[in-house]
Amino acid sequence: MCTTCGCGHGQTRIDGVATRAPASAAGFRHADASAAKLDLGAAHGHAAAHAHGSGLGAVHDATTGAERIVAIEQDILGRNNAVAARNRRYFAQRGILALNLMSSPGSGKTTLLVRTIDALKARVPIAVVEGDQQTSLDADRIRATGAPAVQVNTGKGCHLDADMVERALATLSPADASVVLIENVGNLVCPAAFDLGEAQKVVILSVTEGDDKPLKYPDMFHAADLMVINKVDLLPYVDFSVDAAVANARKVRPGLPALTVSARSGEGFADWIAWVVRQRVDAVEARSGVADAPRALAPGHASGAAAVSSR
């Protein structure tokens, strides 16, 4: 945990249960550097092989005193990306469609999720991973629809990461060929940087937020695979141009697909549901490897289609 601002894995809770930080994150914090060295044992005789002339020689002097330069060349998000890849394999093996829903707080993500579940639950198993700093309010709303939900409370954290999703999936145990909806922490900045292993990143922008937001928060819209403009029932009451919002988003993410909906009135919702269903067909086909998706869902299929509700 960061001792200055309190963020960090140490405060993550999944359905109220505190999770332990990954072993290596805790392991590097120690009072005595020599203690860590002793923990390694005697198996390392190759330290000398790491020393070399620096690749950034033009930028700094590689021979400052007793300092030895060691090449690293590792992506800062490497570990998150590795866990995200594991999540992606988990979903692929089970034919599960995973969607990462991101937006500002108050854009209507949870209302949209509730309406989505109500529209699909008769034909598709749906499970939800809910991300918030605190409370289980959103998970409770989801569970009221009958869909299983796991609440991840990040504490001071501002985004979900792949670790949190991996642990939530262990609790959730979603059915084969289901849809897993991951509602990220309400935040139009940070979640964009973290791959969770999802198939698609869906960014929700409501009409009360302003059509310039894609330009002001470019990282989020640059990372998006679909933009959903919500609360269109309020268009008569706000100065929001759908065309401008879409054009702005396409300046940072050329060709970004966009849908307009009202999770409250249902306007445009059929197109959103159709999009989800199409993505799910892709996920199921990719897993079973057969072109005819309905055959893969037939009763008696060895992959566990018993978990899939029939039409």
Partner 1 sequence: MHEVALAEGMMRIVADAAARCEAARVSTVWVELGALAHVEPQALRFCFDAVARGTVAEGAVLEIHTTPGVAWCMPCGTQVALARLGDACPDCGSYQLQVVAGEEMRVKEIGIA
Residue ranges that bind partner 1, judged by CB under 8 A: 2-5, 7-9, 24-25, 27-31, 33-34, 36-37, 40, 44, 47, 50, 54-56, 59-60, 64-80, 157-159, 161, 189-190, 192-194, 215, 218-219, 222, 250-252, 254
Q: How far is the CB of 238 from partner 1 (least distance, A)?
A: 23
Q: Output 213 or 280, the one with its CB closest to partner 1.
A: 213
Q: Output 8 or 148, the one with its CB closest to partner 1.
A: 8
> How far apart, in whole angstroms, are the C-alpha atoms of residue 67 and residue 1?
29
Q: Output 34 or 173, the one with its CB closest to partner 1.
A: 34
Q: Output 47 or 122, the one with its CB closest to partner 1.
A: 47
Q: How far is the CB of 14 from partner 1 (least distance, A)?
A: 17
Q: How far is the CB of 17 from partner 1 (least distance, A)?
A: 21
Enter the DSSP assignment of 49: G
What HEC string does 153-190 produce? ECCCCCCCCHHHHHHHHHHHCCCCCCEEEEECCCCCCH
Burial grade of 61 (CB within 10 A; 0-12, 13-18, 19 or more): exposed
Q: Which amino acid is at 99?
A: L
Q: Output 140 or 212, the one with its CB closest to partner 1.
A: 212
Q: How far is the CB of 60 from partner 1 (least distance, A)?
A: 7
Distances (CA, A) of 294 to 60, 76, 92, 101, 282: 61, 42, 17, 27, 12
Q: Which amino acid is at 76?
A: I
Q: Which of 196, 245, 249, 198 is nearest to 222 (CA)?
A: 249
Q: How far is the CB of 288 from partner 1 (least distance, A)?
A: 33
